[in-house]
Amino acid sequence: MGDYVQVGPVRTWYDEHGEGDPLVLLHGGLVDARWFEPNLAPLVERFHVYTPERRGHGHTPDVEGPITYQLMADDTIGFLEQVVDTPADVVGHSDGAFVALLVALQRPELINRLVLISGGFSKDGEAAPDEEWDVDAITQFLGPAYGEVSPDGEEHFPVVATKIGEMAAKEPYLDPAELANVPHRTLLVFADDDLVTMRHAVDMYEGIPNAELAVVPGTSHFMTQEKPHLVNAIVVDFLTNEPVPTVAPIRRAPAAP
């Protein structure tokens, strides 16, 4: 059924599933919590899962003004403070991954472990930088699903798509040096044919001190739907097991005294 909580100006919808330690799932841009349906069951078996929907997405109504990553990070911080009220594991996909990254940098005490799926840190890493943001085509693709749950109605979808397009024209951008300030154990998951380049994925892996990297073969940005069994296995393993002592560490080798 879900519930609403007022987070600043945003009447934020969320649902809860399962019992255990808190785990927050942050969906991608222009979709909603239903995106995680192929991934939810194995997580609910082990965690108390929260699925908030951000401003202008899913059941959460749009508000006046632009949509930016920082505004969505502020909303997410408010949700973590008001609803979860304890450090949580956070899994973000696409736009949700960059929102999670901003929260980790700005309010690290709110996050336990971090999983970033198909989320880069800079437009410099885009695999198709010249691709047109076609609101009509995006509306035809995603508008009907939006209309099924949005209190704003399907006719409002092009407004939200335009806002996200304006954001995507200049964001995300994070100085690579800032990645070194992420203190959490972090899992990075990318497709081998993702919206960011493989070089960008490696730069992110090398920049975050306590990062682990997974590349899901034969998938695209939609990997959570394309190979949910494999993505789920990787994410659940990360969230339920401590790091193993590796036999031949190089990147993780202890520094010489």
This prediction has a pTM of 0.97
Q: Which residues have CB under 8 Å from 193's CB, separation 6+?
A: 219, 220
Provide the H-helix boundaries in 121-197: 135-149, 157-168
φ/ψ of 116, rounded to 5, equals -115, 110
Give the length of the chain.
257
Identify the structural domains of the chain with CATH numbers, from first to last.
3-126+171-240 (3.40.50.1820)
pLDDT tens digit sequence for 23-81: 999 999 999 999 999 999 999 999 999 999 999 999 999 999 999 999 999 999 999 99
140 in helix, strand or coil? Answer: helix
Q: At what angle do helices 37-44 and 228-240 cross, to 10 degrees?
A: 30
pLDDT band at 184 (very low <50, low <70, confident <90, very high): very high
Q: Count of CB atoms within 10 A of residue 5's CB?
A: 14
pLDDT tens, residue by residue, 135-170? 999 999 999 999 999 999 999 999 999 999 999 999
Distance CA 166, CA 137 (A): 16
Contact in structure between 3 and 15 (CB atoms under 8 Å): yes
H or E, element range at 75: helix 69-79
Residues 215-256 pLDDT 10s: 999 999 999 999 999 999 999 999 999 999 999 999 888 887
pLDDT of residue 254: 85
For position 255, what pLDDT does the model report?
A: 80
Looking at residue 89, what is its pLDDT? 98
